[in-house]
Amino acid sequence: MSSKNIFLSADTVARWDSSRFENFWENNFSSMQLAPDGKIYITSTSSSKTFYIIDNPDIKGINCKVRKFGTLTAHFRGLPQYPNYRLGPLKGSPCDTLHVANKDITLDDFDIKLFPNPASTDIKIDITLKEYDPVIKTDVIIIDVSGAIVQKYTMPDFAYLATIDISKLASGVYGVQLRQPKRFGERVLATQKLVVLR
């Protein structure tokens, strides 16, 4: 979508071939939905129990890997809806249908949040950082007051929220860091204090 000429940048990644799967009707391309796993699921206008899947929609051409009959469903037709709750309002636009007082987002609103804090058995981490890339391998590192790593958790792909078991940590104060690799080494995106009580 960043091309100067969208029409000329178009590329064919799959063709309708009149194929059928477990039904009388031919499967074709219809509704598409970008799912939380980063893949695009495509339904058919006919009564089909299968979806086509584009595994890597950000890769140009046939390397995006379109799979026919990629997944079997329990019912005919239709896609689940995955609303993106993180988009927020578009103030002043026709799409701004929120009838509440919207506060402007500041740099202080982008961070990692830990809750509950203090905690004893597990914590939830909520990531709202602008520079966080949910596709890149991201580690949540828990360090003690001496700077030693006492626990490491790898965030699932496309995740902004995770639950981390801290039941093996002793009582005390810890630092929780969000780290992502960079060209040489890794970078710390954010650090928060965690208090563990037993």
This prediction's pTM: 0.51
33 found inside a domain? yes
Task: Write down how long the chain is.
Answer: 198
Which of 16, 48, 72 is the C-terminal boundary of a domain? 72
114 shares a domain with 188: yes
State the pLDDT at residue 91.
66
61 shares a domain with 123: no
CA dihedral sign of residues 66, 67, 71, 76: positive
Asked whether the beta carbons of 180 and 186 are under 8 A apart, the reply is yes
91 found inside a domain? no
State the pLDDT at residue 105.
58
Calpha distance 146→140 (Å, rounded): 17
95 found inside a domain? no
Calpha distance 102→91 (Å, rounded): 8
Number of domains into which the chain is organized: 2
13 shares a domain with 60: yes
133 shares a domain with 191: yes
Residue 156: pLDDT over 80: yes
State the pLDDT at residue 49.
73
Burial readout 134-170 (b: 16 or more C-beta within 10 A, e: otherwise): eeeebebbbbeeeeeebbebebeeeeeebebebeebe
163 found inside a domain? yes
Express as a percent the part of the chain with pLDDT over 90: 32
93 found inside a domain? no
Q: What is the CATH number of the domain that holds 114?
A: 2.60.40.10
Which of 72, 96, 124 is the C-terminal boundary of a domain? 72
Calpha distance 54→59 (Å, rounded): 10
Helix (H) or strand (E) holding 125: strand 122-127
88 found inside a domain? no
Asked whether the beta carbons of 10 and 23 are under 8 A apart, the reply is no
Q: Report the pLDDT averaged over residues 162-191.
A: 93
pLDDT band at 4 (very low <50, low <70, confident <90, very high): confident
State the pLDDT at residue 176.
97
60 shares a domain with 122: no
Amino acid identity, position 22: E
Q: What confidence tens digit (pLDDT) does each residue in 68-117 have?
A: 877 767 666 667 776 666 566 666 666 666 556 556 656 566 689 999 99
Helix (H) or strand (E) holding 8: helix 6-9
Q: Report the pLDDT averaged over residues 177-188.
A: 89
Report the candidate in 30, 81, 72 with the shortest Cα–Cα distance to residue 49.
72
60 shares a domain with 133: no
Calpha distance 91→104 (Å, rounded): 10
Mean pLDDT for the chain overall? 82
Which structural domain range is residue 13 located in?
6-72
191 shares a domain with 115: yes
State the pLDDT at residue 185.
87
Report the candidate in 20, 14, 22, 36 with the shortest Cα–Cα distance to residue 75.
22
121 shares a domain with 60: no
Tokens 């780290």 — which residue? Answer: 179
Which of 51, 72, 93 is the C-terminal boundary of a domain? 72
98 found inside a domain? no
Residue 197: pLDDT over 70: yes
pLDDT band at 171 (very low <50, low <70, confident <90, very high): very high
82 found inside a domain? no
Q: What confidence tens digit (pLDDT) does each residue in 6-33 have?
A: 788 888 888 776 666 565 666 677 888 8
40 shares a domain with 112: no
